[in-house]
């Protein structure tokens, strides 16, 4: 489950920066498409956050698994 230890983890901050940069760039270049197809906005944000957290937890799982060997 969610805990505040996540914010102290370096992996979180390393992943957050590229994800935010991509979000801003995508929002700028795809703004016309998103305005025309408003139903895609919630779908995009849901998939985007799911991808972020899946990447974070996979990296954390495999990183911790390798460290404890």
Instruction: Please check whether residue 13 lies inside any domain of the structure.
Output: yes
User: Total domain count for the chain?
Assistant: 1
pLDDT digits (tens, 9 = 90+) for 16-47: 999 999 999 998 998 898 889 888 889 999 99
Residue 6 has pLDDT above 80, yes or no: no
Check: CB of residue 11 under 8 Å from CB of residue 59: yes
Residue that is written with structure tokens 């390393």 in the block? 14
Give the domain extent around 16.
9-67
DSSP assignment letter at 68: T
Joined together, the tokens standing for residue 38 give 């408003």
Instruction: Please check whether residue 3 lies inside any domain of the structure.
Output: no
pLDDT band at 1 (very low <50, low <70, confident <90, very high): low
Instruction: Please check whether residue 4 lies inside any domain of the structure.
Output: no
Instruction: Please check whether residue 20 lies inside any domain of the structure.
Output: yes
Instruction: Please check whether residue 53 lies inside any domain of the structure.
Output: yes
**For all residues of the chain together, what is the average pLDDT?**
87
DSSP assignment letter at 4: G
Indicate the pTM of the whole model: 0.79
* Percent of the chain predicted with pLDDT > 70: 88
Instruction: Tell me how far apart the alpha carbons of residues 15 and 19 are, in angstroms, rounded to a whole number.
Output: 6
């Amino acid at each position: 489950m969610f805990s505040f230890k996540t914010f102290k983890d370096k992996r979180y901050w390393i992943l957050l920066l590229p994800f935010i940069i991509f979000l801003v760039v995508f929002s700028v270049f795809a703004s016309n498409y998103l305005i025309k197809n408003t139903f895609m906005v919630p779908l995009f944000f849901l998939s985007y956050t799911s991808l972020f957290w899946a990447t974070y937890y996979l990296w954390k799982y495999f990183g911790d698994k390798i460290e404890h060997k």
